[in-house]
Structure 1
Amino acid sequence: MAVSTQASLLLQKQLRDLSKHPVDGFSAGLVDDINIFEWSVTIIGPPDTLYDGGYFNAIMSFPTNYPNSPPTVKFTSEMWHPNVYPDGRVCISILHAPGDDPNGYELASERWTPVHTVRSQHFKLVLFTCYYYFRVFMSNFFFIETLWT
């Protein structure tokens, strides 16, 4: 069986599973009914965060060798987040290729592994729990700013 066929079957199963057992604050569907490799996702901002009540749309693009390689995620909704580039691309460890980080910033255990699924990626959790880090960053920023004024 070709790799892309295996990936296609796996993605069909994962999309079906998400439909049968939805994840709170997360919905997914196909961008185009004939392309299982591109999903349209909506993430609802969790309570008590900067994103509370917001609806954030993104495109998840899966490689033909999924799950051996991670999907890419790009927000189509405007948002500010330290792990989202201005063009909407998401940069978080779990979406980086498996193995050691050539730059030495991430542990291999923080990166993608083929056992991850759309559900287990904790995409929403990882992305929006970074709120804590945002608060720490802003606290440090304001602390440093007061030192200079």
Structure 2
Amino acid sequence: MSCLQKVASKKEENEEVQKEVEMALISLNSIIFCFIKQKEYLSEIKEIIKYHQEHRNLSHLACQSAWDILIFEFFKEKSFKEVVVNELHFIREAARELEDLSKSVDWKREKAEEKGERKVKEMHVIWRWIRIVDNFLNWSTLMNEEIIVLICSIVHRK
């Protein structure tokens, strides 16, 4: 786990390193539900997200995986709600990510066949984002203007 954490924390911005970071975050996301109980991993994931917010160095999938880890912790510990909502601004970030992804997916069938695999990956990431937003909304008692705007933007997507 510490090796994956070390790889996920890399801040270089070349394509090879970004792929390594993506794979490390996806791997951490896959095993975190079983093994992670230590707060230091969550602090590292929080720092990875903060760095991404400043530098936009992660792919959509890597970013979503990092958020998924924090949102899972959000359910277990109330003190993390403050971090996720007010410090990292999850709702704003989720809305931005979904907006970016929806712009990059060609929703028309004719053109989608030409792009094939890329569209499938992007739609998979969109689905994962919607799942994590759903989890957040199911466990959160928070209802503010940001959440309403996010929900409306998801509902009105074509």
More strand by share: 1
Q: Could you say which structure has the higher helix fraction?
A: 2
TM range (shorter): under 0.3
| TM-score w.r.t. length of structure 1 | 0.23
User: RCO greater where, 1 or 2, for CA within 8 Å and sep 6 or more?
Assistant: 2
Normalising by structure 2, report the TM-score.
0.22
Greater Cα radius of gyration, structure 1 or 2: 1
